[in-house]
Homo-oligomer: A and B are copies of this chain.
Amino acid sequence: MAIAEILCVGTELLLGDVLDTNSQFLARELAVLGIDCYYRVVVGDNPERIKSALRQALGRSDIVITSGGLGPTADDLTTECIADVFASPMVVDPETLAFIEELFRSRNLVMPPSNRKQAMRPQGADILPNPVGSAPGIIWPIGKEALQKAAIASEYVAQDSVNAPYRVILTFPGVPGELKAMWSETAGPYLAKHYPSGTIWSKELKHIGIGESALAEKFSHLLELSNPTVAPYAGRWECRLRVSAKAATREEARLAAQPVIDEIRSGSGVTLYGEDDDTLESVVANLLVSNGKTISLAESCTGGLITERLTDLPGSSRFMHSAVVAYSNEAKEKFLGVDQSVINKYGAVSEEVAVAMGKGILAASESDLALAVTGIAGPGGGTEDKPVGLVYVALVASVSPGKEPLSFVRKLLLGSRINRSEVRYRTANEALNMVRLFLLEPSSL
């Protein structure tokens, strides 16, 4: 099994200005490829320490992956340090230079001279293309002789393989979106091809409406398995079980995991909402489309968050009709036709107003479903009767023309210990889940 080492470069990481999420992404991807990772090292923008960490990593790992230090400024030093370790000159890559110039041109900008630096690579290294930004990385296979010539102390002997180079260096910029795109397009497939070791296959089973410990207890007998393994994780107002199996091939691993996945599926009921890259909003969107339903929203305390999550999905115009964010009482009347007398009688945060908002947007938009939210997200605005964290969510569904629509209301008491953003996010989850349950199994609402 090949060994990889992750080297993150950036003083901002050592100062704590930036949270390192790249390492987690890389670690997961390596695990999927069945490549071990024994060390992860973070160094600042200091050439001596970068080179020292590089030499150590090359001495003990097959694959060295760096993140950061590829920008256009003088403190971006990763590529130069790598070239320096192997005493290789830096050369301009004409294709990359043309690409970066074109990138600036397409944005109606002139390329600043400093960006020319990003088109340089050590002689002998290949370019690792960056499909979304101006900083490409390199892929540089290193032979045994080059390692010896660079006087790198190596106790570790790389596995004999016709496929794999003795060592390989891959560099990525620190911007997470760019690193991920470069991994999926080039680096991941490269490593899968050259280091075809056994592999880990895993699936996440995502739950809502059950806590992590309750989920762990429900499937406690599975948590003790060794292959496949089952591990519970808490997410953001949801939780998941990760099933992982190791085997020689992905297909064998998948087959080994299947019975456990089936057992979790059949034992979960409606709390299991999706898998892997599914999100609550993508699951709701798919259900809306497959049922041929459209939806409209009337949001107060969530301020557009539910609409934003649903419309972030490509193709959302197929199910999304319109949405009104009605913060003020006037807006609730004007756009949603909520009678001021209802607001005066029950208060803006009430079951009655939530339902009236839902019926209002349903009528105005002529969509099939409407979701309405009114509540107190805090930190201010709470009273003894109506504390911060009190939220009403109404789901209103048209039945047939001329008939009164169906209404379902959920009252949430989220407490004042979570902040405004979390009250909003959790409310959005509960509201989306109501739509999911309505389309899937209305009796569970």
Is the Cβ of B31 less than 8 Å from the Cβ of A24? no
State whether A325 and B307 are in contact (beta carbons under 8 Å apart), knowing that A24-B19, A216-B72 are contacts in the complex: yes
Is the Cβ of A223 less than 8 Å from the Cβ of B74? yes
A162 at interface, CB cutoff 8 A: no
Q: Which stretch of A262-270, A312-320, A351-359, A433-441 is in the interface?
A: A312-320
Query: Nearest Cβ distance between residue A80 and chain B, in whole angstroms?
Result: 17
Is the Cβ of A213 less than 8 Å from the Cβ of B321? no
Is the Cβ of B322 less than 8 Å from the Cβ of A212? no
State whether A39 and B53 are in contact (beta carbons under 8 Å apart), knowing that A16-B28, A303-B307, A420-B312 are contacts in the complex: yes
Is the Cβ of A73 less than 8 Å from the Cβ of B213? yes
Task: Give Cα distance in the complex from A29 to B15, angstroms.
Answer: 9
Q: How large is the interface on A (under 10, 10 to 19, 20 to 34, 35 or more residues)?
A: 35 or more
Contacts of A305 in B (CB 8 A): 304, 308, 312
Contacts of A335 in B (CB 8 A): 322, 324, 335, 364
A211 at interface, CB cutoff 8 A: yes
A347 at interface, CB cutoff 8 A: no
State whether A114 and B213 are in contact (beta carbons under 8 Å apart), knowing that A27-B13, A27-B16, A314-B379 are contacts in the complex: yes
Q: Copies per complex?
A: 2
Task: Give Cα distance in the complex from A362 to B412, angstroms.
Answer: 33
Q: List 29 contacting pairs A-B, 8 Å CB cutoff, sorted by A.
A: A11-B231, A12-B233, A13-B27, A16-B27, A17-B204, A39-B53, A40-B42, A71-B213, A73-B223, A75-B223, A108-B413, A112-B211, A115-B213, A131-B417, A299-B304, A303-B310, A303-B311, A304-B304, A304-B305, A304-B323, A304-B325, A305-B308, A307-B325, A308-B308, A311-B325, A312-B421, A322-B327, A325-B325, A335-B364
Interface residues of A (CB under 8 A from B): 11-21, 23-31, 37-44, 46, 49, 53, 71-75, 106-109, 112-115, 131-132, 175, 177, 200, 202, 204, 211-214, 216-217, 223, 231-234, 242, 244, 297, 299, 302-308, 310-312, 314-317, 320-328, 330-331, 334-335, 364-365, 378-380, 413, 415, 417-418, 420-422, 424
